[in-house]
Amino acid sequence: MCDDGRGRRTHARAAVHRTVLVVDVEEYGQAWRTTPHRLALREGLDRALRRAFDDTGVALADCRVEDCGDGAFILVPAQIPKGPLVESLPYALADALRQHNKSHPAEERIRLRMALHAGEVAFDDRGVTAPAINKAFRLLEAQPVKRELRTSPGVLVVVTSEWFFDEVVRHSCAIDPATFRPVAVEVKETVTTGWVCRPDHPYPAELAASGFAS
């Protein structure tokens, strides 16, 4: 039971575990993009996400997907393994983005940041809320993460939370944790460490293991 703020007791819906995946397009709001450019970009991002999820063997239809205008917010059910979301999905997504970019002018090309976290998510009639969702968006907005994409020749940068890195990445047989790089995240009330990889232009292992990105 919870207090609704007016002294009345109400039944709250039980929170459920979800993997939180958020993506954001670099320079989406720049003046050199027109509305038709953004519409083509949004269509391209949707198509790239669907293709990447299909290639990974994860049904996007089983996930909750919300349009963020300049990106997307995806909740992946608990029964779907987390490993493929970092082992396969980023590589499939980077490939789909490159294919899109080859056939579109510069104003409609996509470079993307992607964040991965997981935690308990609460649902109500208006949508969803959770500290895990807040953290995923904070990871995505961190300046060091934006800088890693800006200075990369690739099209995709992925940042995971410490929890996701420790529980999923470190124990993976399909990816090398040494190709992830720690970055300091300080956004609003969130102070934490994110772990960054560049699927289509990996860090050398010795660089990744050397410490925090400046």
- pLDDT band at 204; cut points 50, 70, 90: confident
Length in residues, the chain: 214
Evaluate if residue 67 carries a pLDDT over 90: yes
Q: Which of 26, 200, 25, 37 is nearest to 106 (CA)?
A: 37
List pLDDT tens digits, range 108-131: 999 999 999 999 999 998 899 999
Percent of residues, the chain, with pLDDT higher than 90: 86
- 214 pLDDT above the threshold of 50: no
What is the 3 state secondary structure string of the chain? CEECCCCCEECCCCCEEEEEEEEEECCCCCCCCCHHHHHHHHHHHHHHHHHHHHHHCCCHHHCEEEECCCEEEEEEECCCCCHHHHHCHHHHHHHHHHHHHHCCCHHHCCCEEEEEEEEEEEEECCEEECHHHHHHHHHHHCHHHHHHHHCCCCCEEEEEEHHHHHHHHCCCCCCCHHHCEEEEEEECCEEEEEEEECCCCCCCHHHHCCCCCC
Q: Which two tokens stand for residue 212?
A: 């925090």
**Collapsed DSSP state (helix, strand, coil) of residue 182:** strand
Q: Tell me the domains of the chain and their CATH numbers.
A: 22-208 (3.30.70.1230)
pLDDT band at 203 (very low <50, low <70, confident <90, very high): confident
**Residues contacting residue 63 through CB under 8 Å, at least 6 positions apart:** 53, 74, 75, 76, 77, 80
Is the C-alpha dihedral spanning 146, 59, 51, 44 positive or negative? negative
pTM for the model: 0.89
Dump pLDDT digits (tens) for 25-66. Answer: 999 999 999 999 999 999 999 999 999 999 999 999 999 999
Q: Quick check: 147 pLDDT over 60? A: yes
pLDDT over threshold 60, residue 8: no
- Mean predicted confidence (pLDDT) in 69-94: 97
